[in-house]
Structure 1
Amino acid sequence: MVSGHKFIRGYMRDLIDEQVKHLSAGEYEDYRTFLRRIEEQEKKNKDKKKNK
């Protein structure tokens, strides 16, 4: 699952970097929010594994 998250996160970052000039402020914020949620989920999963 985490490797899937990493792939999606990398893809979304590349998409944002490539399309930043074409995105509206709202679209940009939506993409950034999506990335933050993925990163938060990864951190929670990592912390869960660490606490086991």
Structure 2
Amino acid sequence: MSKSIKLLAMLGLVGTTLAACAQQEEQEYVVVDPEPISIEPVYTGKYK
């Protein structure tokens, strides 16, 4: 093969390797606590 084809192939390989190894942006996760479906009974004393 000619030198220009080898050079283009090598540059393409280096470019794809750098793109694959590039540091990806970390995704931010937001966790929301769900609201309770029913309210638990509150202790109000023995005979109330």
**TM-score of the superposed pair, with normalisation by structure 1:** 0.45
**TM-score of the superposed pair, with normalisation by structure 2:** 0.48
Which of 1 and 2 has higher RCO (CA within 8 Å, sep 6+)?
1
Which structure has more helix as a fraction of its residues? 1
